[in-house]
Amino acid sequence: MKLPYIEPYKIKMVESIDQSTPEMRKKWIEEASFNLFKLKSNQVMIDLITDSGTGAMSDKQWAEIMLGDESYAGSSSFFKLEKTVKTLTGFKHFIPTHQGRAAENVLFSALVSKEDLIPGNSHFDTTKGHIEYRNATAVDCTVNEAFDLEDNYPFKGNINLQKLEKTLQKYPGKIPFVLLTVTCNSNGGQPVSIENMRDIRMLCDQYGVGFFIDGARFAENAYFIKIREKEFANHSIKQIVKEMFSLADGMTMSAKKDGIVNMGGFIAMNDSELYKNCSTFTIMYEGFVTYGGMSGRDMGALAQGLIEGTTFEYLESRIQQINYLGDRLVEFKVPVLKPFGGHAIYIDAVKFVPDIPKEEYRAQSLAIELYIVAGIRGVEIGTLLADRDPKTRENRFPKLEMVRLAIPRRTYTLSQMEYVAVALKNIYDTRKEAKRGYEIDWEAPIMRHFTVKLKKK
């Protein structure tokens, strides 16, 4: 008999979880205006709202915390991180930032102008926010397979090359770069193939535009390339990572994901003039270029996290835990996006609660019910997140309405994943009772889902 997989680590320290009842949670979510972001952490039992900055650091990363050099300029921790990033990615220039949206802010300040278009694969919410804030437009060129939740196409994060080329042809001079998110969070944490990246590079060269990668989950993407793209079956994760980034002009990264740290991000690129421009914006928005909003100890922990996060053994364990939860939900007939992504399981809210109108935020309704029933906090990836059209101010209704259960790295056990699966089964078994959802009581003009206030219909 084949032995089951085991986590390639052992637990050295634990954090207690506050217990609560459905009655308590119902009161708390009402007080939070039915916005899961507004809950206090001690009101949540299993927190799957994000995998960003919520993972558990290793003993070697904690050792780096003690070794941090907090010098304002020229910190040795900066040079340690710079060397690690350059070795992994091959890019010539590196600038730290305090997190991914800060990296976007700096890069887009240097490159994005009014009425520009930024093609890509299902831009993440903060990415789209930074683009639209500059009166530019995000153009979704994701492959059609991405919008069929039952399709097991192995690289649903890929860009549709025909869509991309039509956009490049139609708007000459208005597209500064193509932005590729790996893995693609907004459509299920789905990977992008090297073959697709090579084709994107060729199109960008042909039409004279840049090619940048949002690499928040680049290591998970490299893992999927290794197991799904035959050419790279015998390559190491680090070799695949180097190949991925060799095809791009630069990257942004929220290091709170595959860097396995609580805070941090960076920009890397090859162009020296762009580096100079970004350095100016970094000093304006983030801090001096050798810390960019990060403490020295966090830079040291990130350098170590990037090394650990690009090992096959770690990634195998990470993906196996995601697969365990996904497989259990499939066994329970709960509708989920397939194939499972690298950092989360996505619940299909359209099939789960079809009687709740899309105008009443069915995915948010399901996420709220999961919290009340079991104390599990997920996040809506649907109409609330899609926000309003910046010109018409009408709701944008995305093709997919999902609840994302993002699994923090090295944080929860398989028994806790089992708890999540059974909770969803119990809700699914009573799904026909769900008829009404919620309406907006107040919302911000952009990226509303973080602070929105809702009320029951």
Is 257 part of the annotated catalytic residue set? yes
65 three-class SS: helix
Q: Does the pLDDT of residue 46 top 80, yes or no? A: yes
Please tell me whether residue 347 adopts helix, strand or coil conformation. strand
pLDDT for 30 equals 98
Q: Give the chain's domains with CATH numbers.
A: 22-51+312-456 (3.90.1150.10), 59-308 (3.40.640.10)
- Calculate the CA dihedral of residues 447, 452, 455, 457 and round it to 10 degrees: 0
Please pick, among 102, 110, 146, 216, the residue that the annotation labels catalytic. Answer: 216
Active-site residue (options: 60, 72, 276, 397): 72
Q: Residue 191 in contact with residue 342, Cβ under 8 Å?
A: yes
pLDDT at 434 over 90: no
State the pLDDT at residue 391.
Answer: 87
Angle, helices 362-374 vs 414-429, to 10°: value is: 120
| 229-268 tens-digit pLDDT | 999 999 999 999 999 999 999 999 999 999 999 999 999 9
Q: Catalytic residue among 47, 116, 214, 298, which?
A: 214
Which entry of 80, 130, 257, 338 is annotated as an active-site residue?
A: 257
The predicted pLDDT at position 45 comes to 98
Active site residue 72: yes
Predicted confidence band at 7 (pLDDT cuts at 50, 70, 90)?
confident
Question: Which of these is catalytic: 125, 140, 348, 387?
Answer: 125
Respond yes or no: is residue 216 known to be catalytic. Answer: yes
> Residue 443 to residues 134, 143, 440, 448, 450: CA-CA distances in angstroms?
20, 31, 7, 5, 9
Average pLDDT over residues 369-396: 93
Closest by Cα among 454, 422, 433 to 46: 422
